[in-house]
């Protein structure tokens, strides 16, 4: 118990005690917030730049300590949803590398969506968002879930007025953006800043492959690595330090499409059935798999690439040439490949206190 609280109690002054507590929760009553944001440079290993370049940052939304703190609070805040029941983190769970273990996330009205909630990992290097790439920035992406009728089901004026009447938020917005009058763009800018800090490059794969520590892999994982980069040809699309080339491709899941993916966004039939190549980072944690969550295990995914690719799929990607007619992996090779995929898990990512609910 600190001295201030003791003096409150000895005085027997309940009102004073309340005032003491209030000080701890919010800004000091007469505190004038200062606008002097501290630039924050997101740290990641130097080899990332060699393979995938420096993380780009929008010129109108530089990452700052204050912006990230605000974005983190907003990401976990249920005030964003209509009935105060759901935050971004309700569907993007840290234990699952910010994805949803449910096949389809459920909105605040209890109805399921129609695609798997994607993992939020190394998003700063991505330039098109959602499975179909319909949003060109993290800032614009973050606008959508709030008003989506199968997600948070809210409207921006309600969100803004809730935040505006909160004892803490106006001061935080001022510190991050120099304005106390909140608008939706400030909300999404802050969330995007927080998302840019969610970097994951500390898996055993990274130690082995990029940092040259061959002792971290078992023989089985080494065999799996050789398959991934060789006979199974996975890294044609799941490539570079990101384990994705960020392109939109058709990997032959279906011969005809119920969800046309990129085709709906571009209006081009040659884009039908193309979806964002997802990162394989933390893939053991981001089940179920594919845009429609059709596979629950990595073994099923490997079986699919091994012998279930639909060669008649319109727009089947050219990078599937080596895979499409069957990989014919042995049972042992399949186990080896799965063991290797599990080396992409970065446990420091999902236990990073800076990423958790503030």
What does the binding site for ligand HEC look like in residue numbers (CB under 6 A)?
Answer: 80, 86, 88, 90-92, 105, 107, 113, 115, 117-118, 120, 123, 126, 129-132, 141-142, 145-146, 151-152, 191, 232-234, 236-238, 249, 251, 253, 275-278, 280, 283, 286, 289-291, 301-302, 305, 317, 319-320, 323
Instruction: Report the residue number, 320 or 339, with the smaller CB distance to ligand HEC.
Output: 320
Contacts 24+ apart (CB under 8 A), 152-157: 152/80, 152/81, 152/82, 152/86, 152/107, 152/108, 153/81, 153/82, 153/83, 153/107, 153/108, 153/109, 154/80, 154/81, 154/82, 155/82, 156/184
Query: Least distance (Å) from ligand HEC to the CB of residue 264?
Result: 10
Query: Least distance (Å) from ligand HEC to the CB of residue 13?
Result: 42
Query: Least distance (Å) from ligand HEC to the CB of residue 148?
Result: 7
Instruction: Report the residue number, 8 or 117, with the smaller CB distance to ligand HEC.
Output: 117
Query: Least distance (Å) from ligand HEC to the CB of residue 282?
Result: 9
Instruction: Report the residue number, 48 or 191, with the smaller CB distance to ligand HEC.
Output: 191
Give CA separation, 65 vs 36, 43, 120, 168, 198, in Å: 10, 13, 20, 16, 14
Rounded distance between C-alpha atoms, residue 87 and residue 357, angstroms: 11
Instruction: Report the residue number, 27 or 264, with the smaller CB distance to ligand HEC.
Output: 264
CB atoms within 10 A of CB 161: 11
Return left, alpha or beta for 266; rule: phi > 0 is left, psi -120 to 50 is alpha, else beta.
alpha
Query: Least distance (Å) from ligand HEC to the CB of residue 4?
Result: 37
* CA torsion through residues 191, 194, 199, 200, sign: negative
Instruction: Report the residue number, 207 or 342, with the smaller CB distance to ligand HEC.
Output: 342
Instruction: Report the residue number, 66 or 151, with the smaller CB distance to ligand HEC.
Output: 151
Rounded distance between C-alpha atoms, residue 292 and residue 325, angstroms: 23
Query: Least distance (Å) from ligand HEC to the CB of residue 115?
Result: 4
Query: Least distance (Å) from ligand HEC to the CB of residue 160?
Result: 14
Report the candidate in 40, 73, 80, 71 with the shortest Cα–Cα distance to residue 57.
40
Instruction: Report the residue number, 223 or 291, with the smaller CB distance to ligand HEC.
Output: 291
Pair 69, 172: CB distance under 8 Å: yes
Query: Least distance (Å) from ligand HEC to the CB of residue 302?
Result: 6
Instruction: Report the residue number, 17 or 150, with the smaller CB distance to ligand HEC.
Output: 150
Return left, alpha or beta for 31; rule: phi > 0 is left, psi -120 to 50 is alpha, else beta.
beta
Query: Least distance (Å) from ligand HEC to the CB of residue 129?
Result: 4
Rounded to 10 degrees, the C-alpha dihedral 158/161/165/166 comes to 60
Instruction: Report the residue number, 193 or 251, with the smaller CB distance to ligand HEC.
Output: 251
């Amino acid at each position: 118990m600190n001295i201030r609280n003791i003096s409150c109690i000895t005085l027997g002054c309940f009102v004073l005690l309340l005032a003491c507590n209030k000080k701890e929760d919010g800004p000091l009553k007469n505190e004038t917030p200062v606008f002097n944001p501290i630039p924050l440079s997101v740290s990641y290993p130097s080899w990332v730049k060699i393979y995938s370049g420096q993380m780009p940052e929008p010129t109108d939304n530089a990452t700052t300590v204050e912006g990230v703190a605000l974005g983190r609070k907003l990401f976990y805040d249920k005030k964003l949803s209509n009935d105060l029941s759901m935050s971004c983190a309700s569907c993007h769970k840290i234990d699952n590398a910010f994805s949803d273990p449910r096949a389809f996330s459920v909105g605040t009205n209890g109805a399921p969506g129609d695609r798997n909630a994607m993992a939020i990992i190394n998003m700063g290097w991505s330039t098109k968002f959602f499975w179909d790439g319909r949003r060109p920035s993290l800032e614009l992406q973050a606008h959508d879930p709030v008003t989506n009728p199968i997600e948070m089901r809210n409207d921006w004026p309600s969100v803004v007025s809730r935040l505006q009447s909160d004892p803490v938020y106006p001061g935080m917005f001022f510190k991050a953006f120099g304005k106390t009058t909140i608008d939706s763009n400030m909300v999404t800018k802050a969330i995007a800043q927080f998302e840019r800090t969610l970097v994951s490059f500390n898996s055993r794969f990274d130690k082995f492959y990029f940092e040259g520590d061959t002792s971290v892999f078992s023989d089985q994982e080494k065999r799996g690595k050789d398959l991934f980069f060789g006979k199974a040809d996975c890294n044609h699309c799941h490539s570079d330090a990101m384990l994705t080339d960020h392109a939109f491709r058709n990997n032959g899941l279906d011969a005809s499409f119920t969800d046309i993916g990129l085709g709906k966004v571009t209006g081009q039939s040659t884009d039908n059935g193309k979806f964002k190549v997802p990162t394989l980072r933390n893939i053991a944690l981001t089940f179920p798999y594919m845009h429609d969550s059709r596979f629950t295990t990595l073994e099923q995914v490997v079986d699919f690439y091994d012998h279930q690719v639909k060669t008649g799929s319109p727009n089947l990607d050219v990078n599937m040439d080596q895979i499409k007619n069957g990989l014919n992996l042995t049972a042992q090779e399949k186990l080896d490949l799965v063991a290797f995929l599990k080396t992409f898990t970065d446990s420091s990512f999902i236990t990073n206190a800076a990423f958790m609910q503030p």
